[in-house]
Chains A and B, each alone.
Chain A
Amino acid sequence: MADCPHTIGVEFGTRIIEVAGQKIKLQIWDTAGQERFRAVTRSYYRGAAGALMVYDITRRSTYNHLSSWLTDARNLTNPNTVIFLIGNKCDLEAQRDVTYEEAKQFAEENDVTCLYLHFFFCQCRGENVEDAFLDTAKKIYQNIQDGSLDLNAAESGVQHKPATPRSPISNDQPPSKESCAC
């Protein structure tokens, strides 16, 4: 495990995954999580098909920021943007600072999908992020299928051929002790 530099800016990567036999290309923006960049990272919500909000279960401060992130996400994305809540570092049960129940309740109250990630999450390179992306893509795909996400609408964030849903990630983790598996 090496120290991973925290994001100063917006990391960008692509990932092609399969959902129901369809190839979906995700464009992933991993935005800086520090509060001082909040005004800037707001620019990146626009036109996103999905947003992943990540907090560290061992540090309540990261959890406390969620409501402000969610406000931005709600205000700046279209109503059908898929928003996921992701509790990171679930392997560090001993150091847990935020209970699963309260996170789940927060998610339910705010109508977002709650996910738990094991191990680590580092920008867009971490291996275990795969599931989060897959679940996000599935949900987006499902929204397209049931018609709640209109592909023709401006800023749906999804292009059909070449498909490029965008998923910005708010990596709400102050840089001090962040360590990564990558």
Chain B
Amino acid sequence: MDLRQLVQRKLASGERCTHSIETAKIIDDKRHLRIVAIIEKNDEHAILVYTASRIPCLNSEDLKLETVLSVDATLRCHAEAPRSDQSGIATSFLLGLKSPEIHILLEMPQQKSTQNFLAEIKRAQDLHTQNAAFGTTPSFDWLTKYRNKAGSSNPFAEDVFDPMKYMNLEGPNNHVTLTEEGQSSRSQSTWFASEFDNKLLLNGQGVAPYTNSYFGSRDSLDAMNKEFDFTDSLDSLQKQLGLGPGVELPIGAKPITSREAFARKILAERENEFTNVQTVRVFCGTWNVNGQSPSEALDRWLVVDEEPPDLYVIGFQELDLSREAFIFNDSIKEAEWQKSVKEYLHPKAKYKKVKSVRLVGILLMVYIQEKLSKYVNFIDADTVATGIMGIMGNKGGVSVRFTLHSTSMCFINSHLAAHQDEFERRNQDYRDISSKIKFKEFSPPLTMVDHDLVFWIGDLNYRIAGMPLDDVKMYIQKQMYKKLLLGDQLHGQLGQSDIFKDFKEGTIGFDPTYKFDTGTDVYDTSEKSRIPAWCDRILWRGDEIQQLRYDSHPQLRISDHKPVSSLFCVGIKVIDQKRYKKVYEDIMKQLDRIENDYLPQIKLDKTECLFKDVKFIEPQTEIITVANVGQAHVEFEFIKKLDDVGYCKPWLSAKPYKSVVEPGLSCDIHLEVYVDKATVSSLNSGQDKLEDILVLHLHGGKDFFITINGNFLPSCFGSSIEALIQMHHPIREVPEAQLVEIEQPGSLSQVDLSKSGGRLYMIPKELWRLVEHINVHGKAVENLFQIPGLQTELQQIRDCLDTGVPDVLPGSVHSIAESLLLFLECLAEPVIPFSYYSQCLAASNNLLLSKQVLSIIPEFHKNTFQYICEFLKEVLKYSDKNGLDFKFISAVFGAVLLRPPQSASCGGGTSKSNRHRLQEEEAKRAAFIYHFLTNDVLA
């Protein structure tokens, strides 16, 4: 049974052992076997340490719980190399686990499962941080039972001495002696408390920061990071856009739109137009101090020129070789060196610290002259550890970045792999550091190559190879550096490989800086007598950098390395606000233009359509071509105007009235005018005209007005009986003005019979012609009134009636019959006028009542009605031939003679009751007519 399963058996339900490893706990330098496991429950994680009664463990009884650690924000784990490293092959390493209560040191086997184990802890901690950010505080209630158990089964005496148990963390003034692995030190304890107070952690193991206060903590120029009180509108706009003086976006700024992203891109491209170049002097210094304290005056290193530099970039390696620095990444040496450096900065200027960052013994600090500090923005730092197993901080790099005015700068201090032959390891370290440095304050995180200027300093550890020691020493003595450089492992690679790609280094004019007998200027005289080398270097990447000096400082003797310095003159882009504003406004206008260019753009071949001489039931079509000449697809639609029911008049239609056109393509819209029975009478009477304005709307764009004009040729179809009986000539011969006049309701009463030729027709002459035609030619024709006519013949009949030519009506009897029905249906006022409609229906079940209603309708309507009834009676006499019967004729003519008023028929709807009502009405209409077909109308 494997270890994980054994642990699992000891757990309560819902708890899961995800990882377990056999390990050794270090107590007083002695190894004690332990089983360490990660337990998960509901996204909460804990590390449980078990003692084992026998090896290998065979059942769960063999395991006894010793220590419980919850994986939360307070848990810290740090790795350290084992002390004895003689074998050369590291098979294990030490892992320190520390919570406020517990502090243990474990020897972890160097194997895959260990890496998984560490990765799981990191993942759990990330999860914890994440959950905490969402406001869910883990309770770890489920651990209580184990904590009690661990206490009872685990006598305190046996445990590692744990001073934290006795620390009252609430009180800030507690001073506790920390004993670690048997060593007692009063002074060491201070870091512990201060670390908790500050919640500051420089984490060297690549484990995510525990708290978000990591950045912008005590080391940064807090004052510079404060929210500026923008009063200038440009500045506030920049703020809104998340635009800095440079073109970077710090996390927390509101999400940017594509428009803003675009504006920023153009701004970056046109930077030259609104920036001036201002030079600043940058001092870079690097020193591997071999764990020593600063006992010498540093001005010999830090002050190399009369003129004070604007920026100090100072890097140390092996600043602190103590175990504390290594495991818990805290250092008392740092404070000493910080103090000393500050003391020896150029006396002629005042400096302010921008940021410092440390990874174990690798420290980088950046100072800027106070007068420039207000131009520093977007400060961030990161560390990358490349030591043992690629996770330990004995080797690696630290970096600080910020923006000065409009130029982004990145400084990296690194300590690469040691040993003469390990130059491939050094190369790999470079690759790791340069690729893994991520400034996470930015979204997405910035990397080294995202910066205008990069300075890389440090103990790069590259050696002089392929030369005997004596030759090297001889060349050094004669200062034949060029010869020496031929053997320099870095020099040979620069510009030739991916190592320090695009980096430059100045000409080295000083002796190798490693390795000296401490306190002397004498190269290594030990047994190993290492070959001197230029381990300590300063490189740069970017334009506008001019190296003024590149020196070593042999006068400083406390370390086995000599410090190196370089002074640069660097061009910084400074925004000219006036020009910036101009460019910015320019870009805004450009964006407006682009935005407007991307609005849908179409071209219409015409915006006016003329329909000439439109006739009843004869469609006319005009085609409008919509060409998409823009860059985006166009969705067009004819839209309704204010308060209108449809997008156009009822006699007009557009096909399609709505469509999508791709760029470069076009679409034909067929505009059709078709005057039918529903619209003809209002056009005849002049109430309506063939005029309309269509609004062609482009979605997200403009609207086009399309003007429709035309003239309608009046027709007897759709005229009123009242008007028709006044016309002595075909309707086309009647002047328009007169037509409008006689179409007015009640016009008949004003007719001066003496003037108008003294007579009125009894019935419309067109009706007479239609009826007479059927009477003469077709009353015996089979299926009369049942077979539809031909459209063309209907049009010919219309023309004949409207113009009076030819004398004989054209077309078949069926076309004539349909024309008759159409004529009756189109009458502006039905034969039984609308106002009598309901009375007729009410009277429909009674002949006498029906006759009474008929007697009160206007004379000319009554005449027409009687005329039609007589005709129908005549036709019905031939029912054996034409197949008609009273019922059918009553229904067909009831529908056209007795039409419901508009308002009643519009009430519509398709509900069942409504359909029923309509059927009932139809029956009553037929019944009303039926009376007059079966009886003498006049009687």
Q: Which residues of A contact B (CB under 8 A)?
A: 8-16, 18, 20-21, 23, 32, 36-37, 39-40, 42-43, 46
Contact = CB atoms under 8 A, between A and B. Distances in A.
A16 B705 contact: no
A13 B233 contact: no
Contacts of B391: none
B237 A21 contact: yes
A44 to B, nearest CB: 8
Nearest to B642: A43
Contacts of A32: 705
Interface of B: 230, 233, 236-237, 240, 588, 591-592, 595-596, 599, 607, 641-642, 693, 695-696, 698, 701-705, 707
A46 B642 CA distance: 9
Given A11-B702, A40-B693, A43-B641, A18 B237 contact: yes
Nearest to A123: B702
Contact of A14 (B236, B592, B607, B703): B592
B693 A39 contact: yes
Name which of A8, A16, A42 has the most chain B CB atoms within 10 A of its CB: A8
A13 B237 contact: no
Given A18-B233, A21-B233, A39-B693, A12 B702 contact: yes
A14 B596 contact: yes
Contacts of A37: 693, 705
14 contacts: A8-B704, A8-B707, A9-B695, A9-B705, A13-B596, A14-B592, A14-B596, A16-B592, A20-B233, A36-B693, A36-B707, A37-B693, A40-B641, A46-B642
Given A9-B702, A12-B599, A40 B695 contact: yes
A5 to B, nearest CB: 10
A21 B234 CA distance: 7
A132 to B, nearest CB: 15
Given A14-B596, A39-B693, A23 B702 contact: no
A133 to B, nearest CB: 11
Contacts of A8: 607, 704-705, 707
Contacts of B233: 18, 20-21
Nearest to B704: A9
A13 B597 CA distance: 9
A12 B607 contact: no
A40 B240 CA distance: 40
B103 to A, nearest CB: 52
Contact of B702 (A10, A21, A40): A10
Contacts of A42: 642
Contacts, number: 57
B123 to A, nearest CB: 38
Contact of A12 (B230, B641, B703): B703
B599 A16 contact: no
A116 to B, nearest CB: 23
B588 A16 contact: yes
A102 B564 CA distance: 82
Contacts of A36: 693, 707
Contacts of A21: 230, 233, 236-237
Contacts of B596: 13-14
Given A9-B702, A10-B705, A40-B705, 5 more contacts: A9-B607, A9-B696, A13-B599, A14-B596, A36-B707
Nearest to B257: A162
Nearest to B259: A16
Contacts of B703: 9-10, 12
Contacts of A20: 233
Given A8-B704, A9-B705, A40-B705, A16 B237 contact: no
Contacts of A13: 596, 599
A36 B692 CA distance: 10
A86 to B, nearest CB: 21
The 8 closest A-B pairs by CB, nearest first: A12-B702, A21-B233, A43-B642, A9-B704, A10-B703, A21-B236, A9-B705, A9-B703
Contact of B592 (A12, A15, A18): A15
Nearest to B694: A40
Contacts of B236: 21
Contacts of B707: 8, 36
A18 B240 CA distance: 12
Contacts of A15: 592
A13 B233 CA distance: 24
Contacts of A40: 641-642, 693, 695, 705
A157 B346 CA distance: 62
A58 B591 CA distance: 35
A16 B641 contact: no
A9 B591 CA distance: 25
Contacts of B702: 9-12
Find the residue from A11, A12, A15, A42 having the highest chain B CB count within 10 A. A12
Nearest to A14: B595
A39 B691 CA distance: 13
A181 to B, nearest CB: 16
Nearest to B639: A43
A9 B233 CA distance: 37
Nearest to A162: B257
A78 to B, nearest CB: 16
Contact of A23 (B230, B237, B607): B237
Contacts of A16: 588, 591-592
B393 to A, nearest CB: 47
Nearest to A43: B642
A173 B704 CA distance: 17
Contacts of A12: 599, 698, 701-703
A10 B588 CA distance: 24
Interface centre among B233, B702, B704 (most CB of A within 10 A): B702
Contacts of A46: 642
Nearest to B695: A40
Nearest to A10: B703
A15 to B, nearest CB: 5
A32 B696 CA distance: 14
A32 B233 CA distance: 36
Nearest to B600: A12
Contacts of B591: 16
Contacts of A10: 702-703, 705
A18 to B, nearest CB: 6
B241 to A, nearest CB: 9
Nearest to B231: A21
A46 B641 CA distance: 12
Nearest to A19: B233
A23 B240 contact: yes
A109 B109 CA distance: 93
Contacts of B592: 14-16
Nearest to B701: A12
A40 B705 CA distance: 8
B919 to A, nearest CB: 42
Contacts of B695: 9, 40, 43
Nearest to A30: B702
A34 to B, nearest CB: 9
Nearest to B705: A9
Contacts of B641: 39-40, 43
Contacts of B599: 12-14
A142 to B, nearest CB: 16
B414 to A, nearest CB: 44
A79 B849 CA distance: 60
Contacts of A14: 592, 595-596, 599
A21 B230 CA distance: 10
Q: Which of B588, B642, B696, B707 has most chain A Cβ within 10 Å?
A: B642
B243 to A, nearest CB: 13
A40 B236 CA distance: 41
B632 to A, nearest CB: 14
B851 to A, nearest CB: 49
Contacts of B595: 14
B261 to A, nearest CB: 15
Contacts of A23: 237, 240
A12 B233 CA distance: 28
Contacts of A18: 233, 237
